[in-house]
């Protein structure tokens, strides 16, 4: 393992927590920011524990920006290429789950060693790490919590999944005649349910059901990266104690914040902030599909033509299309770049845009290859809306900035997030999809232009803008002393400290 150790007398006396992040740059930031909050607001020291498979220069740079009281460590690699995995390319969910299972001995040893040098009071694993909670038990009864970085809709689905699976019989979610209805949650059409649940014969499906079973057995509780005002009915339903599930604690939003000393040079390198400075207030659509999302070649070109047709200013973070090296058509996995979301597989992604696009939109838009400082962009006065893949990190960052959204889901839980954002929280609009939204359907250029115009200048866009500003204020107040999220986390932390004192 690598990473700094906390050995001074002052830090050894402070309560210490270990937080395990699943692989992928979508998972590491919320776990690290939770560690930062525990340190800044509540005096904890912490270790952010990651897997060898997710090691990258971008991840190391991000973790090195954390305060000195938060160290980072990497688990030793585990073998993922044997006959226990399904033939062919294993699904992301399968790889994440198997890596967690096989890392339990190393995590147990790490926690046991850390107990001798720190006041270790808790172990927190994120959504694919439920199996690792037994490492906390085996390391001398360290309290084990789950940190669920998505929303209450997704958590409720996982908690009810074993029962839903039994009720499906031989059917599939996508064939259900009625939406899936979970306590306090927006009804979700079966076709919009979590992507790995769309094929019950897949190994990924079986892993998700297993995770749902383990969530129900999480010994100490589940911390959730959401806040009451975003999902009031679901929050009320999950706050009500049930004998079959652990306590649920909404503590969000836990999001990346701009830290000038660590990020200034990287921010300047993209050129996008300088470009935004020259744009009128509230005039720019920010287009980004997250660290692991990419479109097909055909869809990339339709989006480009739609942005050009809409005639509004845009800042677009462009990634190489899925299977770009083979000039793929539709139907490729939009999350295939998940593990190396910060690296482009096929050179300069701008080269896949329509011929002449860059010249024709020179005075209208700005294209950034692969990455932009998203939190700073969203907070900029020039940004009016965001076209997003509906990954929960990006959703919370947009809400915290008071920016309405165009929902363009790609994979994982993003389609059900889009349903919630458009039909329950009412902070997003959704474009039409050719063919009624079936698998592989394109959003055509004309429909891109229509939804962009609506979110930027229409009545629905203004209504979404007003609603998201309400949520921004609710999120801010919830994180202040006396606010719901602040006090919920403080309650949990008080229990951690009490457990630590009891074992001294």
Residues annotated as part of the active site: 27, 126
CB 303 within 8 A of CB 451: no
Residue with tokens 């899936």: 180
Instruction: Give the phi and the psi of residue 502 in degrees, each rounded to 5.
Output: -70, -25
Question: Helix, strand, coil % (nearest 5) of the chain?
Answer: 45, 15, 40
Helix (H) or strand (E) segment spanning residue 378:
helix 374-379
Beta strands in 6-118 (DSSP E): 15-20, 45-50, 70-74
Strand pairing category for 313-318 and 365-369: parallel
DSSP state of 49: E
Instruction: Give the phi and the psi of residue 355 in degrees, each rounded to 5.
Output: -60, 130
Residue with tokens 């994979």: 411
CA distances 469 to 111, 230, 246, 453, Å, are: 42, 12, 33, 20
Cβ neighbours of residue 61 under 8 Å, at least 6 residues apart? 266
């Amino acid at each position: 393992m690598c990473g700094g150790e906390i050995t001074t007398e002052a830090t050894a006396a402070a309560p210490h927590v270990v937080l395990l992040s699943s692989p992928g740059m979508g998972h590491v930031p919320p776990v690290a920011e939770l560690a930062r909050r525990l340190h800044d607001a509540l005096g904890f020291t912490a270790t952010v524990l990651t897997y060898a498979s997710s090691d990258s220069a971008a991840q190391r740079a991000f973790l090195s920006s954390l305060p000195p009281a938060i160290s980072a460590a990497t688990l030793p690699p585990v073998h993922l290429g044997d006959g226990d995995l399904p033939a062919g390319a294993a699904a992301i969910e399968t790889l994440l789950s198997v890596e967690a299972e096989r890392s339990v001995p190393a995590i147990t040893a790490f926690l046991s060693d850390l107990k001798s040098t720190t006041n270790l009071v808790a172990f927190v694993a994120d959504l694919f790490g439920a199996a690792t909670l037994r490492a906390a038990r085996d390391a001398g009864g360290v309290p084990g919590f789950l940190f669920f970085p998505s929303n209450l809709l997704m958590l409720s689905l996982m908690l009810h999944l074993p029962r839903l699976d039994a009720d499906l019989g031989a059917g599939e979610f996508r064939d259900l005649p009625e939406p899936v209805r979970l306590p306090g949650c927006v009804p979700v059409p079966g076709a919009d349910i979590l992507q790995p649940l769309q094929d019950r014969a897949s190994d990924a499906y079986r892993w998700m059901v297993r995770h749902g079973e383990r969530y129900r057995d999480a010994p100490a509780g589940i911390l959730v990266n959401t806040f009451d005002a975003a999902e009031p009915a679901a929050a009320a339903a999950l706050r009500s104690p049930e004998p079959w599930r652990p306590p649920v604690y909404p503590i969000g939003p836990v999001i990346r914040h701009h830290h000038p000393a660590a990020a200034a040079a990287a921010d300047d390198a993209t050129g996008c902030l300088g470009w935004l400075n020259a744009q009128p207030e509230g005039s720019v659509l920010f287009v980004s599909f997250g660290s692991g999302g990419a479109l097909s070649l055909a869809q990339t070109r339709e989006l480009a033509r739609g942005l050009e047709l809409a005639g509004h200013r845009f800042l677009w973070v462009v990634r190489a299309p899925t299977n770009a090296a083979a000039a793929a058509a539709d139907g490729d996995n939009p999350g295939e770049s998940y593990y190396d979301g910060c690296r482009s597989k096929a050179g300069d992604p701008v080269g896949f845009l329509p011929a002449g696009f860059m010249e024709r939109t020179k005075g209208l838009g700005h294209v950034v290859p692969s990455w932009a400082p998203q939190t700073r962009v969203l907070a900029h006065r020039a940004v009016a809306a965001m076209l997003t893949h509906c990954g929960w990190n990006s959703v919370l960052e947009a809400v915290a900035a008071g920016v309405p959204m165009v929902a363009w889901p790609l994979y994982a839980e993003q389609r059900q997030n889009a349903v919630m954002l458009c039909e329950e929280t009412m902070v997003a609009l959704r474009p039409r999809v050719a063919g009624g939204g079936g698998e592989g359907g394109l959003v055509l250029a004309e429909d891109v232009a229509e939804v962009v115009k609506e979110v930027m200048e229409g009545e629905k866009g203004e209504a979404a803008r007003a609603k998201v500003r309400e949520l921004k204020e609710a999120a801010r107040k919830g994180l202040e002393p006396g606010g719901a999220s602040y006090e919920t986390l403080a309650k949990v932390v008080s229990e951690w400290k009490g457990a630590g004192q009891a074992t001294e």
